[in-house]
Amino acid sequence: MFSRVKIKELLANYTIGQEVTVMGWVRTFRNNQFIALNDGSVLTNLQVVVDFENTDPELLKKITTGAAIKAVGEVIASQGKGQAIEVKARLVEVLGVCDPEVYPLQPKKHSLEFLREIAHLRFRTNTFSAVFRVRHHLAMAIHQFFHEKGFVYMHSPIVTGSDAEGAGEMFRVTTLPLDKLPKTESGDIDFKKDFFGKSTNLTVSGQLEAELAALALSEVYTFGPTFRAENSNTSRHLAEFWMIEPEVAFADLKDNMDLAEGLLKYCLNHVMEFCKEDLEFLETRLLEEEKQKPQNERSDMALRDKLRFCLSNPFQRLTYTEAIDILKNSTPNKKGKFQYPIEAWGADLQSEHERYLVEKHFGKPVILTDYPKQIKAFYMRLNEDNNTVRAMDILFPGIGEIVGGSQREERLDVLMARMEEMHIPLEEMQWFLDTRRFGTCPHAGFGLGFERLVLFVTGMTNIRDVIPFPRFPGSAEF
């Protein structure tokens, strides 16, 4: 099996006349002679030419769309258009048959909604093979970026006893019998009899654990799955998604913004260099999709132009207060076009507000800072005005918020006061408070939603289409 040549390698480096072994899945089989073969290594199919006059008719019947085959033959210059080479097969072996009567992926256009119903097979389509190759390259770029800067990759726990966000929307982890839960004398569930001896959940963030490591190793990052039990069925939310969360000691809010902008630009540059064919295909797909939309709902820029635009422009930085003034005085707000009108300072910005700032007012990515403390988490550093915190959100066109972060509150007394104010149990968080008792220092970090980054780069419009097996309310297939 290991003697096979990947199609990507063969197309990039071939010698006319060499004998090769290729394996993959049949996309189409025309005239009992021409096989379009794809092995997932590249978007382009390889044409394999069969000598049908000297091939067993029963074998030819088995070469159907979706079948897995092995072909051995000579690399020759192609006589057809759109390809430099093809393989003239002297041997074809069907490794796995595929009944065309029941195989759902026939050579025709399928809707994304239909493909979500068969997520176990959608990797075989051009769209999803391109999306997941881009996803791979983005993940590699993230690791390379932090590795080159000397960060330590830390694996934060998935099962945790803390709620980093203080939101309470968490999935419970338990081995207790649900039909006969043990109770305490007061009637509460007795979690002392559970596996961990306490109430535990799936993590919503690796941030708090990353802070512990950063206050010893200086620069760390996590990259792993996180979970939110939010009953949300939007095209922007998942119950299980991946987060990148760096934490940096001896850093302030400006350092944090610089790091986040640098990471995003590094990732965009990486895929522009290594995913050219896939991005070109996804751009064409998006243009075709947008032809069905009204003119005012179409993107102002083609996919790759949008990526280049984010690369070539410094991100606009402004405070929440400045953003509120812009939004209050905007035409959509004055004419009642916003679903959530901006009336006063303190409003929690919605996606429509974020997209207005990015797409209409500034025309480039935006970093908002210094939010009201009431709408942000307990661990964000309180500003001298006692009303705002040193938070930052990065907003991207078409996506809205893609990064959320802050300078962390390193002052023990201020942090404890904020935790009490927001009803965060101090006794359960002593391990976290210890970092402020023993050698505290200014530090900062952020969270980047990986799927939102993939969504932006690929031009897909639903977040369920950029993760292999999406988890959302009512769905935990595969």
Domains and CATH numbers, the chain: 7-107 (2.40.50.140), 124-169+204-465 (3.30.930.10)
Q: How far from 454 is each of 112, 132, 191, 223, 402, CA to CA, in Å?
A: 16, 9, 39, 14, 10
- Who has greater pLDDT, 88 or 168? 88
What is the predicted pLDDT for the residue at 165? 58
Q: Per-residue pLDDT for 126 more than 80? A: yes
pLDDT digits over 22-38, tens only? 999 999 999 999 999 99
Specify the length of the chain in residues. Answer: 478
Q: For the stretch 347-363, what's the b/e string if a residue is b when 16 or more beta carbons lie within 10 angstroms of its beta carbon? A: bebeeebbbbbbbeebe
What pTM does this model have? Answer: 0.93
pLDDT digits over 291-313, tens only? 888 877 777 789 999 999 899 98
Which residue has tokens 């004998």?
19
Selection from 256, 228, 261 nearest residue 242 by Cα: 228
Q: Per-residue pLDDT for 171 more than 90? A: yes
Alpha-helix runs per DSSP H in 291-411? 303-312, 320-328, 331-334, 351-355
What is the predicted pLDDT for the residue at 391? 98
Q: Per-residue pLDDT for 166 more than 60? A: no
